[in-house]
Chain A
């Protein structure tokens, strides 16, 4: 099946630093990828839709200047958490929807646990 790779799995950083998370589709081209955030015991919340070659679409309440998304190629989308603060500590996960799957399905990266000290 389709494989989505996400890196890194864990990040611990100091407050004020920026963190970049990568999401790669390994065996298919993804014109669209999705970025989610999940706080403990809560569901995944869509942050933004990453579009290859164009600007990302952000959900209401998500600061686009804080969560920078770049989708420069058909196999790579990156999420940069700029000037991270402790409240940004969360589980970030990406997903992609491979073409030709029939009923649309999502395949997820393994997620990134971000801890901001």
Chain B
């Protein structure tokens, strides 16, 4: 079983739509959780960390459910510039191991 699993998509949504991605992780000892954004052939860039209480940054909302071991990312009012691959990343602090999901591809259509 993979450490981190994501629906690869692709998600094709119209501008202004709300879209949600989910990610599940298998190791209950996971400590830190992140969403990264990656454009084609570019390095991943940190979008936001995910906290137990949930956190919001503008149009982006991240949630963590430790009991069910999943993380979500909600994007409201999608923009064309949101088109990218979104990577779920989990850190198991013991040994400082980072695990990546396969990424979810999002295309926002005019």
Question: Which of B31, B44, B102, B103 counts the most chain A CB atoms within 10 A?
Answer: B44
Which size class do A's interface residues fall under? 20 to 34
User: Are A104 and B93 in contact, CB atoms less than 8 angstroms apart?
Assistant: yes
Question: Given A105-B49, A111-B43, are A44 and B32 neighbors across the interface (CB < 8 Å)?
Answer: no
Give the contacts of A71-109 with B (CB-CB under 8 A).
91, 93, 95, 97, 103-109
Can you name the residue of chain B whose Cβ is closest to the Cβ of A97?
Answer: B96
Q: How far is the CB of A20 from chain B (nearest CB, A)?
A: 19
Total contacts A-B at CB 8 Å? 50
Give the contacts of A1-58 with B (CB-CB under 8 A).
6, 32, 34, 42-46
User: Are A113 and B41 in contact, CB atoms less than 8 angstroms apart?
Assistant: yes
| Candidates A42, A45, A107, A111; contact of B41 at CB < 8 Å | A111
A107 proximity list for chain B (CB < 8 A): 46
Q: How far is the CB of B43 from chain A (nearest CB, A)?
A: 4
User: Are B100 and A111 in contact, CB atoms less than 8 angstroms apart?
Assistant: no
User: Are B102 and A106 in contact, CB atoms less than 8 angstroms apart?
Assistant: no
User: Are B100 and A43 in contact, CB atoms less than 8 angstroms apart?
Assistant: yes
The docked-state distance in angstroms from the alpha carbon of A45 to that of B103 is 12
The docked-state distance in angstroms from the alpha carbon of A107 to that of B93 is 16
User: B87 contacts the other chain (Cβ, under 8 Å)?
Assistant: yes
Jot down 17 A-B pairs with beta carbons below 8 A, ordered by A: A32-B96, A34-B98, A43-B102, A43-B103, A44-B44, A44-B87, A44-B100, A45-B100, A46-B100, A93-B44, A103-B32, A103-B49, A104-B31, A105-B46, A106-B34, A110-B43, A113-B41
- Using A104-B93, A107-B46 as known contacts, list a sample of 16 further A-B pairs with CB atoms less than 8 Å apart, ordered by residue number in A: A34-B98, A43-B87, A43-B100, A44-B44, A44-B100, A45-B100, A46-B98, A91-B41, A103-B31, A103-B49, A105-B34, A105-B49, A106-B89, A108-B44, A110-B42, A110-B43
